[in-house]
Amino acid sequence: MRGEKASAAGEALLRRLRRLVARAATVKETDHKQLLALLDDIEMTRRGLLKECAGIESEMRQATVRTTAIGAYLRNSQAHRGKRHS
């Protein structure tokens, strides 16, 4: 599982996004080069966050499948409890 590494990566991306937002507040409208660089940095960070979100979504789907399988196993074991097998 992804665990702590993924959490740290996601937190780093969120910190980076906060810094970029703060930097965006200081950039002047006439500084086109800085604005383009800022847009590029924001887009790269956004893609990283989307990748992290997809990974978390995948983990949640996998956990749901496991939970369903465990529930089915428990129901099956309870249904057979007390019955004799041939």
The whole-number pLDDT of residue 85 equals 53
Identify the sign of the CA torsion 46, 15, 57, 55.
positive
C-alpha 11/C-alpha 17 separation (Å) is 10
The SS3 call for residue 10 is: helix
Alpha carbons 39 and 42: distance in angstroms, whole number: 5
10 Å Cβ neighbour count for 38? 17
How many folded domains does the chain comprise?
A: 1
Residue 83 within a domain: no
Structural domain span for residue 23: 3-77
Q: What is the pLDDT of residue 4?
A: 76
* Percent of the chain at pLDDT exceeding 90: 67
Question: Is the residue at 84 inside a domain?
Answer: no
Would you place residue 64 in the very low, low, confident or very high pLDDT band (cuts 50, 70, 90)? very high
Is residue 48 domain-resident?
Answer: yes
Residue 86 included in any domain: no
Check pLDDT > 60 for residue 78. yes
Domain assignment of residue 19, yes or no? yes
Does position 84 have pLDDT exceeding 70, yes or no?
no
Strand, coil or helix: 1: coil
